[in-house]
Amino acid sequence: MSLKVINPGLSTSIQDLGRPGYFHLGIPMGGAMDRFALRVANMLVGNPEGAAGLEAVFMGPTLTFEKDVLVAVTGADLPPKVDGVVQDGWTAFEVKAGQTLSFDFLKSGARAYIAISGGIDTPPALGSRSTYPIGALGGFEGRNIQAGDVIPLGETDMIEPELSVPAKLRRLPGKPAELRVLPGLYWHRLTPAAQEGFFADDWAVALEADRMGYRFKGGKPLEFVAREQPFGAGADPSNIVDGCYSYGSIQVPGGLEPIVLHRDAVSGGGYFTLGAIISADMDLIGQLQPHTPVKFRKVDMAEALAARATRKKMLAEVRAHLG
Amino acid sequence: MKTRYTYGGDEHIYVEMDDEMSLDAFFKSLSMSNAVRDAKIKGVTEICPANASFQVRFDPDVISPDEMMKKVKELEHRAEDAEKRLRTRIIEIPVYYQDPWTHETLMRFRERHQDPSGTDLDYAARINGFDSVEAFIEAHHSQPWFVSMVGFVAGLPFLYQLVEREKQLQVPKYLRPRTDTPKLTVGYGGCFSCIYSVRGAGGYQMFGVTPMPIFDPELKQSYLNDFMVFFKPGDIVKWKPIDRGEYDRILAEVEADTYLPRIAEVDFDLDAFNADMPGTNAKLMEALNVA
């Protein structure tokens, strides 16, 4: 059982929920940038939530299938089409053997998740099928999909294509998108004015925004507390002795453009970080297009945990709805 | 040294043993991260040691951040009491300094460099007070190095030279990072050397290349067939300068999957090292001669 890639889209990769456990070797967890969307897509077609699907950035792929399958597309509003007929997002639909699944233009969001009944069945690497191209790990031969690839699918019993997730249980960023930040890590390196300015300024997603990190521009340069740089750190005030990076941590090389590290993060380096995006808002970043206006909002740990509980509750509601 | 504890979002605890680099800070960080691992705290998902710091990733649905922080802090005394000794290995890594591939790359990104008029090695030699590039290269390979961190990307080692602080080589990173670095480039930034395990972006100065793969997702190399990443923190490295002829010879062996690096088991004792650096280093390097 397999699917065939007729056109890969812009940047389409196989992703599941990732491979935690190897960050100490510089191998990031990877996996869907919008984990909620992937989980829901899988639930809609009767797969385990962590089954591997496709993450399509800005543009959808064109695919054909060897046998009849159920498909669901979640995350970005990237309308799927079966032999040219538009289907609903966040809803399971059938694609028969020989029919073509393609996509209309992107309406909102940045990454669509395509789950196929049975799930993608490429060989796992370090416990995951997620694509990590830098290390040539996972995915289809360690890379994004290309035209002509024949990708294995798992066998499964078809369920009825009746399922849909109502709008209130879907999640896309607002405008401006609000990203909540817990200050910490090397926050003390910034002057009080810079600490305040970071949250007060209007930012926008820069063009350099991918699975490794999202860059932001438009705010004022950040000023550092004056100090003699510690031995081994490097001369720039934004440098530290190379340390680990947290997922979601915000580094600002030279104090200029903040970069939020995402699922394919580098595991460490020599730039100070001012804190991290809270876990509840990481999925949202994956849905931000370049030029999207963004506000960073300061929260404390209690708010971060409450937001995390809210996300968990929403996932539970989806499970109950699709139960 | 003053330990600093902080959160990285709601899923990470970050512990900085010291804001400056030293072997004391590295040993304390390694001991403490080992103590956290040994404590098998429920909810911990990743433990990442670094040069002078480490990070614990945890699931706040299993253990609250406060409770996690408390448990990590309780382990600090164990790191303080730990012996600063390691049973480890010394590995000889062949380096072709001033190779054509890093040369081509550094010329391509010259406008991002502090000194566009020369090479990375010309610049590094000059700002470290050496009369010639050759003398600088000798300082880079004559004394061994300690792998103080593995990370950035897949299996990349950061290395810290086993010499007095006055003798440490220091260079800044590129003004703006390059978008390309040849695979297996031997690089330098701050007081750290590194080997770029894979081709990609990078900001470290480029000195040469090694023909010896250190990351092999296909597990083809005989010395990489149990795990895809070669280095771990605590490994000791001795660079061996090689010429083009030897580079090509080793590369042919690598391609035939028959290359075997020179490796010897050694003990490293930080107190003994601090008491007698040249003597300790000589002994480490002698171990390679009989390997």
pLDDT in tens, A274-312: 999 999 999 999 999 999 999 999 999 999 999 999 999
Crossing angle of helices B120-127 and B133-142, rounded to 10°: 80
Q: A144 with A188, same domain? A: no
Distance between CA B47 and CA A270 in Å, rounded? 19
Looking at the structure, tell me whether residues A21 and A152 fall in a common domain: yes
Q: Are A246 and B52 an interchain contact pair (Cβ–Cβ within 8 Å)? A: no
Over 80: is that where the pLDDT of A158 sits?
Answer: no
Q: Which of A139, A117, A103, A248 is nearest to A185 (CA)?
A: A248
Residues of A in contact with B153 (CB under 8 A): 26, 134-135, 266-267
Q: b or e along A243-270 (b: 16 or more beta carbons within 10 Å of the residue's beta carbon)? A: bbbbbbbbbbbebebbbbbbbbbbbbbb
Same domain, A6 and A60: yes
Whether the pLDDT of residue A256 is over 90: the answer is: yes
Which of B9, B149, B215 has the CB atom closest to A304's CB atom? Answer: B9
Select the residue from A19, A25, A308 to test the B interface by mutation, using most B Cβ atoms within 10 A.
A25
Q: How many domains does chain A have?
A: 2
Q: Which of A142, A268, A278 sits opposite B152 (nearest CB)?
A: A268
Q: What percent of chain B has pLDDT over 90?
A: 86
What's the gap between Cα A74 and its chain centre? 12
* Chain B neighbors of A132, CB-CB under 8 A: 154
Q: Is the pLDDT of residue A39 over 90?
A: yes
Measure CB to CB from residue B21 to each of A23, A241, A277 and give the nearest one. A241
Out of A109, A135, A166, a domain closes at A166
* Cα distance between residue B67 and residue B70, in whole Å: 5
**Percent helix, strand and coil across chain A, each rounded to 5?**
20, 35, 45
| CA-to-CA separations, B195 to A286, B158, B186, in angstroms, rounded | 31, 7, 5
Rounded Cα distance, B163 and B145, in Å:
9
Q: In chain B, what residues touch A315 (CB-CB under 8 Å)?
A: none
The partner residues of B58 in beta bridges, in order of sequence, read B44
**Residues A107 and A17 both lie in one domain:** yes
How confident is the model at residue B177, as a pLDDT?
Answer: 82
- Tell whether A239 and A126 lie within a shared domain: no
Within this chain, do residues A76 and A159 fall inside the same structural domain, yes or no?
yes
Predicted TM-score (pTM) of the model is 0.95
CA quadruple A213, A36, A109, A96: dihedral positive or negative? positive
Looking at the domain assignment, is residue A186 inside a domain? yes
Residues of B in contact with A312 (CB under 8 A): 61
User: For residue A297, what are the domain limits?
Assistant: 177-313
Do both A8 and A140 map to the same domain?
Answer: yes
Domain boundary among the residues A166, A187, A217 is at A166
Q: Is the CB of residue A296 less than 8 Å from the CB of residue A213?
A: no
Q: Which residues of chain A neighbour B20 with C-beta distances below 8 Å?
A: 230-233, 241
**Cα dist. A186→A243, A253, B27, B52, B254 in Å?**
11, 13, 22, 14, 42
Q: What is the ipTM of this complex?
A: 0.96
- Looking at the structure, do residues A123 and A210 belong to the same domain, yes or no? no
Q: Does any domain span residue A172?
A: no
Considering only CB atoms, A232 lies closest to which of B14, B20, B65, namely: B20
Q: Contacts of residue A239 in chain B, CB cutoff 8 Å?
A: 173, 190
Is there a single domain that holds both residue A111 and residue A207?
no
Q: What is the pLDDT of residues B173-213, one digit of tens each?
A: 888 889 899 999 999 999 999 999 999 989 899 999 999 99
Q: Are A213 and A274 within one domain?
A: yes
Mark which of A141, A166, A191 sits at the end of a domain. A166
Closest-CA residue in chain A for B14? A185
Identify whether A223 is part of a domain: yes
pLDDT, position B78: 84
What domains sit in chain B, N to C, each tagged with a CATH number? 4-82 (3.30.1360.40), 87-289 (2.40.100.10)
Q: B197, A26: Cβ pair inside 8 Å?
A: yes
Q: Using the predicted structure, report yes or no on whether residue B226 has a pLDDT greater than 90.
A: no
Q: Is residue A259 part of a domain?
A: yes
Q: How confident is the model at residue B235 (pLDDT cuts 50, 70, 90)?
A: very high
- Measured between CB atoms, which of A135, A240, A270 is closest to B217? A135
**Are residue A186 and residue A136 in the same domain, yes or no?**
no
